[in-house]
């Protein structure tokens, strides 16, 4: 049994959680980093606003580690960015570099143990790390390290990375990071502080996103999404390449390609659901990709209808695209409660259904007596669609044509998107006609895989949850 501390300061902490075994490793998070040659008084403020812009990527915990020329201080806690940090935290801590993390809650127990950044002391001084993604060789690595007497304090795969870094630290920073990155497998975007340096890494397939920007005057910023660069007034420089390490210090940005032969396969679900529409990742605007998906849905099946509505927030751009391509009027038809976080965290089916009603409500005036096309970004378990269709019928909709702006989700994700186990994925159990019946829709259509690829400009993406083909081998049970 661990104690529950709402907030922890410094890197020594007492952890909560009496349910370690149920902890799910997979997680999707937001990461942020800042480097300046000089100490900045406002560095915590930059970190705070950067994380705030990435809040949609994780609402379970938030943390910042600031480096004052190599002396690290971590502040982290459970809850939203606005709940975790106080005015004092932001004004009293100064530094030249910083990393931050927001963690997305999965159905496993949520605990401070998993809150990041994680850090420690080793041969090269103090260091800290924040990780977005999911490693797939965790069990093997952990067994191996434990058999060599390693001690772990958490069940996170991020602590494995800490351990490996320390193990490879003998020959200096570069060889330490390269060796560690060659040992871990899976999806990862990392920001690290090693002494007073900021380091960013992207996995060999670039599954998780990471970009680099610069604030006037020479302060560098790393972030999961460009929307966080905009928030701190940083200009986008470029995306970190798959298999690339950037070491940012007083000499500028040093780039090392540690993996040259891997194929680029960023996660398509980032564009479909996870990222903010005002972000651009690997050269593709998230909004544009969703909008094009909507246009393609119209090309796929031309349904006669009176109004097109979208499920907020991620279904809206596709609904606008569908309406513009078809000429059918677009209307706001579903209102989202602004004060509710994303609903997947709800553990049981009954509670999940209730959570949908608390989050989304139908606008009767927009749909009463009409033939309605309703577009959501995805259909996973079928909970949201079923609940919404019921609400639409009660509001007087005459016909309901449900469209998913992504293909049928049939396979689990091993790389960090919490899309449930295979048995819970409705499309892996039923045909499209059966699903339409189950959710109560007159018709149901999914974006085809081919059209998803087109809406992503035919670049290469990981489509594992749709076609079961993954960029790297993901052993079951790891």
Per DSSP, helices labelled H in 136-202 are: 138-147, 157-167, 173-183
Does 378 participate in binding ligand AMP (rule CB under 6 A)?
yes
3-state secondary structure of 356: helix
Report if residue 226 touches ligand AMP, rule: CB under 6 A: no
Residues 6+ apart with CB under 8 A from 155: 20, 23, 25, 113
Would you count residue 268 as binding ligand AMP (CB under 6 A)? no
Of 413 and 472, the one with the shorter C-beta distance to ligand AMP is 413
Asked if 363 contacts 332 with a C-beta cutoff of 8 angstroms, the reply is yes
3-state secondary structure of 229: helix
Binding ligand AMP by CB under 6 A: which of 314, 326, 331, 391? 314
Going by DSSP bridges, is the β-strand pair 186-194/125-135 parallel, antiparallel, or unpaired? antiparallel
User: Does the protein bind ligand AMP through residue 273 (CB under 6 A)?
Assistant: yes
**Which of 16, 159, 244, 376 contacts ligand AMP by CB under 6 A?**
376
Q: Which of 268, 292, 384, 391 touches ligand AMP (CB under 6 A)?
A: 384
Coil vs helix vs strand at 152: coil
In this complex, which beta carbon is closest to ligand AMP, that of residue 302 or of residue 336? 336
- Is 380 one of the binding residues for ligand AMP (CB under 6 A)? yes
* Known catalytic residue at 29: yes
Query: Which contiguous run of DSSP H or E holds residue 366?
Result: helix 364-367
In whole angstroms, give the CA distance from residue 204 to residue 263.
7
Residue 11 is classified by DSSP as S
Residue 383 lies near ligand AMP (rule: CB under 6 A): yes
Which strand (E) or helix (H) includes residue 372? Answer: strand 371-376
Binding ligand AMP (rule: CB under 6 A), the pick from 32, 85, 168, 344 is 344
Cβ closest to ligand AMP, residue 93 vs residue 385? 385
For 125, what's the count of Cα atoms within 13 Å in the CB-facing half-sphere?
Answer: 16
Rounded CA separation 132/343 (Å) = 20
Q: Which stretch binds ligand AMP (CB under 6 A): 193-201, 298-306, 323-331, 417-425?
A: 417-425
Contact set for ligand AMP, span 294-313 (CB under 6 A): 311
Q: How far, in Å, CA of 40 to CA of 96, rounded? A: 6
Minimum CB–partner distance for residue 313 and ligand AMP (Å): 8
Minimum Å distance from CB 420 to ligand AMP? 7
Question: Does residue 17 touch ligand AMP according to CB under 6 A?
Answer: no
Q: Does 419 bind ligand AMP (CB under 6 A)?
A: yes
Give contact residues for ligand AMP (rule: CB under 6 A). Answer: 273, 311, 314, 342, 344, 376-385, 417-419
Catalytic residue ranges: 29
């Amino acid at each position: 049994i661990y104690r529950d501390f709402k907030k922890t300061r410094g890197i020594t902490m007492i952890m909560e959680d009496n349910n370690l075994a149920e902890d799910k490793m997979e997680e999707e998070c937001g990461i942020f980093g800042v480097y300046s040659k000089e100490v900045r008084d406002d560095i915590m403020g930059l970190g705070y606003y950067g994380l705030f812009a990435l809040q949609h990527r994780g609402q379970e915990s938030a943390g910042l580690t600031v480096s004052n020329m190599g002396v690290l201080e971590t502040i982290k806690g459970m809850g939203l960015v606005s709940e975790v940090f106080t005015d004092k935290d932001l004004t009293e801590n100064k530094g030249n570099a910083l990393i931050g993390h927001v963690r997305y809650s999965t159905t496993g127990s949520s605990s401070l143990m998993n809150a990041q950044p994680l850090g420690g002391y080793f041969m090269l001084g103090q260091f800290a790390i924040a990780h977005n993604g999911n490693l797939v060789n965790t069990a093997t690595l952990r067994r191996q390290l434990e058999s060599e007497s390693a001690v772990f304090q958490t069940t996170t795969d991020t602590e494995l990375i800490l351990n490996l870094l320390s193990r490879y630290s003998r020959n200096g920073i570069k060889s330490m990071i390269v060796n560690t990155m060659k040992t871990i497998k899976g999806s990862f975007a990392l920001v690290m502080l090693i002494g007073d340096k900021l380091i960013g890494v992207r996995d060999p397939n670039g599954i998780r996103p990471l970009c680099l920007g610069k604030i006037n005057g020479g302060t560098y910023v790393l972030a999961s999404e460009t929307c966080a660069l905009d928030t701190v007034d940083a200009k986008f420089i470029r995306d970190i390449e798959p298999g690339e390490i950037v070491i940012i210090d007083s000499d500028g940005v040093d780039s090392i390609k540690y993996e040259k032969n891997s194929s680029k396969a960023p996660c398509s679900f980032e564009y479909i659901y996870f990222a903010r529409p005002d972000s651009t990742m690997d050269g593709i605007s998230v909004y544009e990709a969703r909008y094009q998906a909507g246009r393609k849905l119209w090309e796929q099946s031309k349904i006669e209808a009176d109004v097109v509505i979208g499920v907020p927030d991620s279904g809206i751009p596709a609904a606008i695209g569908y309406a513009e391509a078809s000429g059918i009027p677009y209307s706001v038809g579903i209102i989202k409660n602004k004060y509710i976080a994303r609903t997947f965290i709800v553990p049981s089916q009954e509670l999940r259904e209730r959570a949908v009603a608390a989050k989304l409500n139908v606008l009767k005036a927009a749909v009463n007596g009409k033939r309605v096309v309703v577009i959501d970004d995805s259909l996973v378990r079928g909970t949201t669609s079923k609940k919404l269709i019921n609400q639409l019928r009660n509001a007087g909709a005459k016909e309901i044509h449900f469209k998913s702006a992504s293909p049928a989700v049939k396979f689990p994700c091993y790389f960090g998107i919490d899309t449930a186990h295979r048995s819970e994925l409705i499309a892996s159990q039923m045909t499209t006609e059966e699903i339409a019946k189950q959710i109560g829709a007159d018709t149901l259509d999914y974006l085809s895989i081919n059209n998803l690829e087109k809406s992503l400009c035919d670049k290469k993406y990981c489509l594992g949850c749709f076609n079961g083909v993954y960029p790297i081998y993901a052993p079951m049970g790891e």
